[in-house]
Amino acid sequence: MTGRLAGKVAIITGAGSGIGRASALLFAREGARLVLGDKTEAVFETARSVVEAGGAATALQIDAGLDADVAKLVAAALADFGQLDVAFANAGISGGMAGIFDLTPESFTEVLRVNLIGPWLMVKHAGKAMVDGGRGGSIVCTASVAGIRSGAGGPAYSASKAGVINLAMVAAQQLCETGVRVNAICPGLTETGMTRPTFDYAKDKGVTHKIGRLNPLRRAAQPDELANVALFLASDQSSYVNGQAIAVDGGLSSSHPVTRQLTGQTAV
C-alpha cells in the first residue's frame, strides 16, 4: 500500500467521532495501521469503517486520561502490529463555560485530567515505545486556540489547552536526538460531538449562518480540515517541524475578537 503513512502504525484517541474519526479514516487511506481509542462504543464503528475500506484497525474503549488505559493502547499497537510510529492524543472534553467563580475544584480537575494529563500520558507511553523502537516517530496533541489566548473557551478548558501547547514544547526538547517529534494542533470552532450543542442551538434559533463569523473565513471548520493537518504532522512531510503549536482556526487567533465578560456583570 502506498501513501504518506505507508508502513506506519498510529494510535488515535477520541476516535469515536469528530476530528478523531476523520483522522482515522484519512490515516488509513494513507496507509497507516491503526489502534483507535475512545470512551464510547462509537470507536468500534470507526474501526469497522476503516476495515470495510480495506484498512487495518484495532479498537479499544478506554479513558484517555487514565495511565493504565493509555499504556493499554501502546501495548496493543506493539502486540498487534509490532511497532509504533505515530500517536495522536486527540481526546478531550469542553468542561462547559462556567466562570471562574462558578467552577468547582472537581470540575476543573476533570478537565485537566482528560485534556492535559491525557496527552502527557501519551507522550510518556508512546514516546517511550518510539524511543525503544529506534525508529523515531511523531506525537501530535490536540490543543485549541483557547490555549493561545483568552476569548475562545471557558477557564478550565483554556488552561488545559495552554498546558498542552507547553507540553508539546517541553516534550520536544526532552526527546532531543531520539527522532521523536512532538507538536500540537490548535483548532478553532469545529463541528464535532463536543461542539454539537452550539451547532444544535444555532439550528434551533435559525442562526447557523452566524456560526464562526468571528474569524476572517466567516465559518466553522469541518473535522476533515483538522485531520489534514494532523496527517501532515504525522507524516515525514513534516520531518523538520517540532515543538510547534499550529493554529487551524480560519484566522481567529490573529486577533480573537470577542466581547469582554465582566464577572457578575453583562458583556460590554
Q: Where are the domains of the chain?
A: 9-249
157: annotated active-site residue: yes
Identified catalytic residue from 88, 108, 120, 157: 157
Q: Which of 186, 226, 264, 243 is nearest to 21 (CA)?
A: 226
d(CA 126, CA 165) in angstroms, rounded, equals 18
Asked if the model's pLDDT at residue 265 lies above 70, the reply is no
Would you call 43 exposed, middle or buried from its count of C-beta atoms within 10 A (0-12, 13-18, 19+)?
Answer: buried
CATH: 3.40.190.10, 3.30.70.3270, 3.30.70.100, 3.40.50.720. Which one for 9-249?
Answer: 3.40.50.720
Q: Alpha-carbon distance 219 to 206, whole Å?
A: 15
**Lowest-pLDDT choice from 59-73, 134-148, 190-204:** 190-204
Residue 174: half-sphere exposure toward Cβ, Cα within 13 Å: 11
pLDDT range class, residue 2, cuts 50, 70, 90? confident
- Mean pLDDT of all residues in 10-25: 98
Give me the residue label for grid cell 483538522: 226
Q: What is the pLDDT of residues 158-176, one digit of tens each?
A: 999 999 999 999 999 999 9
